[in-house]
A = this chain, B = another copy of it.
Amino acid sequence: MRNLSRKAEDYLEAILNVSLDKGYAKTRDIAAELSVRPPTVVEMVRKLDAMGLVTHRRYEGVTLTPEGRSIAEVIKYRHETLRAFLTLIRVPEGAASRDACIMEHELSPETIEQIRHLVEFIGTDAGSTDLLCRFEGFCRSKRGQAGLVDRSRPFVTPPGRPAARGRSLL
């Protein structure tokens, strides 16, 4: 029923996070959470308000409507699933957070579901502790080995934009 852009979802999730954190969500806080400028937040909030997903009171703050909130919670839940998975396969903290943010909006339900299954399965299956140990050993054995391709390609921040994460071609 809702056709939300990735960004719109990002804003909803950020509003939820800020609200949970501080009890309310002001323009400035949301802007900080998403690393954008306040006017950008006002703009998106206006759209979300028009869609009935948030309520915006000028000079006061933003509140999620029930619908907005339930969408935000779903996004957050996805995020947690993905983060759990990435942690499981030993992706470093920082990368895990960033990548969970990306995947939570973009991946198909099928993929997310299977990842969730995998996470649950690993948490359930008897042999998995052992398996994870062997996986860690495997990763260690790979460390230091050059990848098939690994020229590095630092990400250049476009002028006037907030800093972006580094990337390499891997």
Q: Decide if A109 is an interface residue (CB 8 Å cutoff).
A: yes
Residue of B nearest to A125 (CB): B134
A-to-B contact residues, CB < 8 Å: 1-3, 70-71, 73-74, 77-78, 86, 89-92, 95-96, 98-99, 102-103, 106-115, 117-118, 120-121, 124-125, 127-128, 130-131, 134-135, 138-139, 142, 147-149, 151, 153-156, 158, 165, 167-170
Classify the secondary structure of A's interface with B: helix
Copies of this chain per assembly: 2
B115 touches A89 (CB 8 A): yes
Given known contacts A74-B149, A125-B134, A170 and B120 CB-to-CB distance under 8 angstroms: no
Given known contacts A89-B115, A114-B89, A165 and B108 CB-to-CB distance under 8 angstroms: yes
